[in-house]
Structure 1
Amino acid sequence: MKFSRKLLWPLNPFYYWGALTIKKMYDWNIFKSQTYNFPLITVGNLSVGGTGKSPFVAYLIDILQNEKRIATLSRGYKRSTTGFQLANTNSTALEIGDEPLQFKTTYPNITVAVDAERRNGINQLRKLKPKPEVIILDDAFQHRKVTAGLQILLTTHYNLYPDDCMLPSGDLREPISAAARATIIVVTKCPLNLSDHLQQKIITKLNPLAHQSVYFTGIAYAETVHSNTSKLNLEKFTENTFCLVTGIANPTPLVNHLNELEATFVHLNFPDHHVFSDREIKKISSHQFILTTQKDFMRLKDIEILKEKLFYLPIKVKFLNNEAAFKQQINAIVSS
């Protein structure tokens, strides 16, 4: 924990009791939560970000899109629009947010929508013809106005929620007890060689309830980098000195991966969902080769001076254990 955040520790009890009060209001049915009679899947976390929600939503789309009509619903963080918006082939990150644009760009045949009010977004999606058969709620675990049939809670290997504390000195938005709402807990960003023994130690620390399943996933990086018009072999690309541009919550795994490839690069690191200024764009464009994440690429790909030199490195979720059992749980919910 940074020293500056330690100074905020006296404020933690106020945030904790405020969050706990809201939680209890829903638990005691004083505040009402809407349930639905069709498959609704929530992917979220207890912390303020960086757990790998977008790759996990993409994984769910991959395994479901050939069987059902899929829609994703996100808040659309840092977009310029308000209310319910449907993504289309001409949408921009400024209009719908970088992550929803990433979903629509990667999966053009699914329905992608944004709405800060999840209940309204769900109702609008169900009015479409044909209406989606499955809706995936991105980053909505803490959105208690909606109760999904399946709630997937993500926590990172390097910062498990039992080891964290509440805002403002920690990263948790809700008390640890809120994890009880989850049906599935996924430990993300694990080393791909994480042993069964260490997995079991983590499960013991998480202390799952009887109804909860725990899975472990890591990040699998692609062997190619992609631009607007082409793709290159990653090893060939890293023979050049390049600029790595990141505006994500935790770029460390990507930096470590590039270091393992013995790449030579300058790292320009920005806050999550960063809106790049003209001065920053000029600095980035001074480099001949530029690599970024797929999410950041959504915000940078249409800038003219970057188009010929900007590439992103795709990633995929890789299960370390029991992937077949996970898919079976998903299919059971979707088929019910």
Structure 2
Amino acid sequence: MGLKSFLSFSFKILLWVLSPLSFLYQVLFWIDRRRTKPRKLTNCYVISVGNLTVGGTGKTPFVQFLIRDLKNHFPDFHFTILSRGYKARLSLQGALVESNASPMDVGDEPLLHKQTFPDVQVIIGSDRFQSYQTFNQYKSSKHVVILDDGFQHHKLYRDFEIVLLDANHLLGNGFTLPLGSLRETRQALLRAHAVVFTKWNEENAEKVDKFESNLDGDFKRIPRYHSKFTPELDAKQESADMIRSYFLVTGVGNPESVMKSAKQLLGSKVIAYKYFSDHYSFQEKDMHAIIADLPSSTALLLTEKDWVKVSILTNFLNEAKEKRISIFLIKIKLEMEELQQFNDVIVSRVSSYVKENALD
């Protein structure tokens, strides 16, 4: 038996073993959704941003794009980001996130959002309804709430549902967990008011076009948009030494996407790397071990989400400075290809909410 035949046979065995688990996952998810009655947040317009698959789809840069976009159109509105606070110590009891909070207490993404938008209210809690009731400071109805990673959070009613699909992976192999990367079946897309393809570029455009052309029935009626990611470098700690090598350190859901952005920025330069698990809580010992043998001509590359955790490691930062090791952040700028069409929909929906509630 050749290698190709062996791998095909092994996959069939794996499919046979895991298919019942995948089916059971779907059944349990369906039951949970059927028995959950969504609760409505009062005096606000709720927009959910979520994924159909596990792994990084670029939700963080999209949420920040959405906040900036809506603030431009509704400058007198308040904005809130409501998040579970994944792996945060205060997730169970809930918290109102402050800019100087500990990332271990409130989570890396919520803290990044708060530091990026100091005037935006960021609330975390595994029980998002109760956390909102407890910590919301805004009484005005001129208020938009972004439900972060909300597609599978059935406990809250949302007025507008946005689903993100990574243009590089789309629906993966088409199977739900644990056979594939889908959190729900493809049919779940029918709940979406808009689908946004993230990381769309020349390399995957043909694949996305084929995916869209194969949509049929009700799927074709879902508005679809395409967004590009443009990486930028931001120096946080620079050495006077000429940089001769780069070292990427990251703990995100899709590290290969970060590496691709780094190579796009740095051209043909060789980039060494160390990947950690998603939402990894960096410790002094982790960073000390990484720079122990690095020459002073090296630059460390981090994402913004990693930086909120690394930036509080003062001993490491001092050691890196002494060793003349530079630190750069890879920032992602999201550009919506069909921005006008997207705004025609989302701005119209929020404007309708304004009129219905006589908020002019």
TM-score of the superposed pair, with normalisation by structure 2:
0.80
Q: Which amino acid aligns with 2:333?
A: K
Please show how residues 288-307 of structure 1 align to structure 2 within 5 Å.
288=296, 289-307=299-317
* Alignment pair present for 1:19 and 2:19: no
Q: CA deviation at 1:156?
A: 0.9
Q: Which residue of 2 aligns with 1:252?
A: 256
Structure 2 CA distance for partners of 1:145 and 1:6, relative to 1, 3 Å: farther
Please show how residues 44-83 of structure 1 align to structure 2 within 5 Å.
44-66=50-72, 67=74, 68-81=77-90, 82-83=92-93
* Alignment pair present for 1:201 and 2:210: yes
Give, in whole Å, the separation in 2 of the partners of 1:256 and 1:4: 29
Once the two structures are superposed, what CA deviation does each residue of 1:125-169 show, in whole Å capped at 9, x if it has no partner?
Answer: 545456770000111100111121111111111211274311112
Give, in whole Å, the separation in 2 of the partners of 1:326 and 1:159: 23
* Alignment pair present for 1:319 and 2:324: no
Give, in whole Å, the separation in 1 of the partners of 2:48 and 2:242: 37
Give, in whole Å, the separation in 1 of the partners of 2:242 and 2:179: 38
Structure 2 CA distance for partners of 1:20 and 1:127, relative to 1, 3 Å: farther
Give, in whole Å, the separation in 2 of the partners of 1:124 and 1:5: 50
Paired-residue identity, %: 28
Please show how residues 1-336 of structure 1 align to structure 2 within 5 Å.
7=14, 10-23=17-30, 26=33, 30-36=35-41, 38-66=44-72, 67=74, 68-81=77-90, 82-126=92-136, 128-129=138-139, 133-161=143-171, 163-192=173-202, 195=205, 199-207=208-216, 209=219, 211-222=221-232, 224-227=233-236, 239-260=243-264, 261-286=267-292, 287=294, 288=296, 289-307=299-317, 308=321, 309-320=326-337, 322-335=338-351, 336=353
Verify the 8 A CA contact 2:21 2:178 in the aligned structure 1. Answer: no
Give, in whole Å, the separation in 1 of the partners of 2:219 and 2:242: 45
Verify the 8 A CA contact 1:5 1:169 in the aligned structure 2. Answer: no
Structure 2 CA distance for partners of 1:35 and 1:210, relative to 1, 3 Å: farther
Q: CA deviation at 1:83?
A: 1.8
Structure 1 unpaired stretches of 5+: none
Give, in whole Å, the separation in 1 of the partners of 2:277 and 2:186: 26
Once the two structures are superposed, what CA deviation does each residue of 1:40-65 show, in whole Å capped at 9, x if it has no partner?
Answer: 01111121221111111011011122
Give, in whole Å, the separation in 2 of the partners of 1:5 and 1:136: 42
Structure 2 CA distance for partners of 1:131 and 1:12, relative to 1, 3 Å: farther
Q: CA deviation at 1:305?
A: 3.4
Q: Which amino acid aligns with 2:20?
A: P
Verify the 8 A CA contact 2:97 2:111 in the aligned structure 1. Answer: yes
Q: Which amino acid aligns with 2:248?
A: L
Q: CA deviation at 1:85?
A: 0.6
Q: How many residue pairs were aligned?
A: 326
Give, in whole Å, the separation in 1 of the partners of 2:207 and 2:308: 36
Verify the 8 A CA contact 1:225 1:312 in the aligned structure 2. Answer: yes
Structure 2 CA distance for partners of 1:198 and 1:304, relative to 1, 3 Å: same
Taking only aligned residues, the RMSD between alpha carbons, in angstroms, comes to: 3.0
- Secondary structure at 1:135's aligned position in 2? strand
Q: Which amino acid aligns with 1:173?
A: R
Structure 2 CA distance for partners of 1:325 and 1:238, relative to 1, 3 Å: farther
TM-score of the superposed pair, with normalisation by structure 1:
0.86
Give, in whole Å, the separation in 2 of the partners of 1:231 and 1:135: 38
Q: CA deviation at 1:205?
A: 3.5
Give, in whole Å, the separation in 1 of the partners of 2:127 and 2:212: 34
- Secondary structure at 1:103's aligned position in 2? helix
Q: CA deviation at 1:277?
A: 4.1
- Secondary structure at 1:312's aligned position in 2? strand
Give, in whole Å, the separation in 2 of the partners of 1:245 and 1:237: 20
Structure 2 CA distance for partners of 1:291 and 1:6, relative to 1, 3 Å: farther
Verify the 8 A CA contact 1:5 1:170 in the aligned structure 2. Answer: no
